[in-house]
Structure 1
Amino acid sequence: MVSVRVSVSIVPDKFELIGIISKPLSYKGKLKVKRKEGVQLLNLPEFLLLLRDQEYVPYYLEEFEEFGDSFYLIKLDEIDTEESARALRGSGLYVQKEFVAIEKSEHAHLYELVGYLVIDKNHGEVGIIEEIIDNGSQQILQIVRGEYEVLVPAVDAFMIKRDEETRTLQIEAPDGLIDLYS
């Protein structure tokens, strides 16, 4: 497939975000995608658009399966190694609107934070958000920090500023929370 850039202006009108790539799943380029809450695929499209470096790039869909209630497992054309899959981490996946049904959800915006760099007011860079965990009573940011995982409740009181352009989330975690993971 020849990569063709798509005008950013057509995407909001004709395409819908269905999820964010959270991580590679195999050495052959399979990807684990965090599903956007409230969006259900009605039919499988022939191709997806990935938002990479502020541009939309089309990829043909080779494999697709639902993985639990919150994830998709996908294989994209030309993504054949773990390294090429890892480079897509945090990218948004878009499909034509006619392929989805949308339900409203109070937590739908949180999944968009996957791939964001978290910066704590007191500790500096914490790590990259790998997943949003729903434990039933609240949503939790799962942040990869070196060899460790940091879990921070996804509540407005801790989140200071979200910058979509730089894909960063500034937080002020409760005293001692980040230190637990050091």
Structure 2
Amino acid sequence: MTQDNCFLLGYIVRTHGTAGNVVFYLDVDYPDDYEDLETVYVEIKGDLVPYFIEDINIQKQGNAIVALEEVNTMAKAQALVGSSLYLPLEDLEELGGENFYYHEIKGYTVVDQTAGTLGIVREVYSLNGQDLIAMDYEGSEVLIPTANEIVQRADKENKQLLVNLPEGLLEVYLSKDSDSENIPDDAD
């Protein structure tokens, strides 16, 4: 099992209690969908190690208190804190209609309602509760917020991500290079 054929489910953020339980942060839209999770892959030193889940209790805001098989001491639990959690792609439920998983849109062509074809989705970042789609555009990386009013839909058949970018977003990324060229040499 490698990260290439898995998706990032979340992270182990801390221990819970004294019996070796851990707290998962499930970085997903609907954490309750994972209340019957039986196995998870934990990234340890670059390898994905399977762990069987004995008990999972979904809490508020994407947290879950979890008992993992063979993790029955504070020391074993503490050793896992900070580790990433993965699930195999084949375990994902098929999303209907225009819904999509972030890993599915990598390589899609971004098409704006006004500007037309822009570039290719390279990555999706999750930063402090804000998900951003990274697109290559005219030699620059452009970050597109995943808000519903911006990302309209994914056309899976044509491998296109249809967007309605806010006015001036592209110019912000393109003007960074030109701004540095317009600074006078004698500016202190």
Larger of the two Rg values belongs to structure: 2
TM-score (norm 1): 0.48
Greater RCO (Cα-Cα under 8 Å, separation 6 or more): 1
